[in-house]
Structure 1
Amino acid sequence: MADDTAPQQAGTPADTPRRVTVLTLGGTISARGGGADARLTGREVLDTPGITPAGVQVDLHDFRRVPSSSLTFEDLTALADEVRRAVAAGSGVVVVQGTDTLEETAFLLDLLCTTERPIAVTGAMRRPDLPGADGPANLAAALAVAADPGCQGLGVLVVLADEIHAARHATKAHTTSVATFASPGAGPLGGVVEGVPRILLRPTVPTRMCGLNLDPALRIALLTLSLGDTGELLDAVAEHPERYDGLVVAAFGAGHVPARLVEPLAALTARMPVVLASRTGAGTTLSHTYRGPGSEADLLHRGLIPSGPLAPAKARLLLHALLSSGARGPAGYDRPRITAGFAHLDGAGLA
């Protein structure tokens, strides 16, 4: 580990924050041999020569050691608490986890942690015992981002393959490629060159609207429609309303559903918020281009809430956070507040 007396790295600003807190959760970056019993500790992951930027002190916490597919909302609310404590103490933060749910963790932290300090989330696509393991390079880049004052005010960042992505846009786009993370419709904010972050773009509006919370007890269903869908899964949600507090529908195209599902969806809006998203993976839902039965105009007129450009999995997290933060009460849910929460991120009228 580099200490506070180490010389500044060439090209690094003199006022670089000297503390970065690293929270490791497990994942491929630590999965030596591929088995659960062979996982590296955070210290072993960090001990690769050259990972830590010169002049930066790293505080390491082995927070969890599990595949990212096994992370729970309880894990992530506890993680958000650790991140808030670290930034309150003047530290940048790097979260290291598996890539399967990395985009969801990063977006959730963006909603829950209101800070200007850099927070970078990273991982790896190749195990440390395989040729071309990408974990050390990704971790080095994430540490550089978290230690750089030029990366402040960007929200939570996803850093892999020397690219820097905004959490709300980043998505895992390939099952095995080391360059799997992309930001459809937006592109990366910048990259890391010779160990120095270079920011080319800044989000016009931050993801965080205010300090949101997450109640792990709430349950938000996510329904992805497919050709020939006759509504059995939707019926399961409708028949057991006590099990769910909200629903996100990953619809066709720009927000379309089979005409036969319109009435059941409209009926559900009287009992819970129903968010209309697109299953396509890029682009935004529309509002008035199509007007027939099952079109976006028809569904929004019947009370569904548009997700805009948010992908279904992230729309589920935003709805969960909004309901956990005052948009739900004994009299029902606050539809205008939830609609405003999604509209905040839709980019309408922004440069």
Structure 2
Amino acid sequence: MLDLPDTDTLYAALLARDPAWEGRALVGVTTTGIFCRLTCPARKPLPQNCRWFATPDAAQAAGFRPCRRCYPLGPTAEGDALVGDLIARLEARPGHRWSESDLLALGHDPSTVRRAFKRHFGQSFLDMARAARLKGGMGRLAKGSAMIDAQLEAGFDSASGFRGAFARLFGHAPHQMRQGSDLLADWIDTPLGGMIAICDDQALHLLEFIDRKALPDGLRRLSTHVGGRVGLGRTATHDLTEAQLAAYFAGRAPRLDVPVTLHGTPFQQQVWRALQDIPAGQTRSYAQLAHAIGRPTATRAVARANATNRIALVVPCHRVIGADGTLTGYAGGLWRKEKLIGIERRYA
């Protein structure tokens, strides 16, 4: 029961199948010997037949077996057979131009697929497929390929389609990124999805998940800060960031030791530096973060600064939760926040 609230609160969350408790609490049912997520669709046990655990390891140590309906041993999306099947197909054919017709041909209802992916990833399957195609086009452009080659690599039928998708992501047309620039953008794959990293030879300036809605705006703001456009390419800082992320997700690096340049007001930078002081495996509330920077009445301003962080993971804004223990919002998606906090339990 360490770090868990009272049993009445947990049982109410179980009856409501409250997703806010994903990754934070599990229930063991003494009459069946099985432990589940609080969101499990199975019939709910009586309160006297419940035991509560903070981690799967604790539940198994107490003799409970994992439920086969809600898959409590893995991240939420891994327990969804539909999602798992389509993710595997996307990885096998990243350049394919997926459509609703493809989903129907596989026997899937497009609306069901859309809801499942939105629930787990905050975006549709077709959005993820478009991002995978755009990644291919970015790679070709960074190597100096002709526009038509990059367009075909990305799987777009028309140059206007490719330019439109590119402009929505970066805030300007792709040809503007092929000219010289002090800052270079490249793609980094992670277990939680692709990320755009913008670096120079000395530091990381931006690290965002590719599907974040505010990414184009963040790129435009960064371009304004540096007084010019951001180009496509790779630096030694990209290599360092990619290696540090790989070690972090593998459980070998609790702190992402990458030099950063923070673009923001003095107050924002103060908040972001305080975020870097939160150890992996721990969390803070917005009020605690405000106290840590000596501004105890600035909780709302701290929350706004937290939301405007443009260097995900390295500046760990995902470690800030609500005062009542709920995960609260995360621009990269609550599903990612759930998984990141789960990953960091190994570092506690």
Q: TM-score, normalised by structure 2?
A: 0.24
Question: Higher relative contact order at CA 8 Å, sep ≥6: structure 1 or structure 2?
Answer: 1
TM-score scaled by length of structure 1: 0.24
Greater per-residue strand proportion? 1
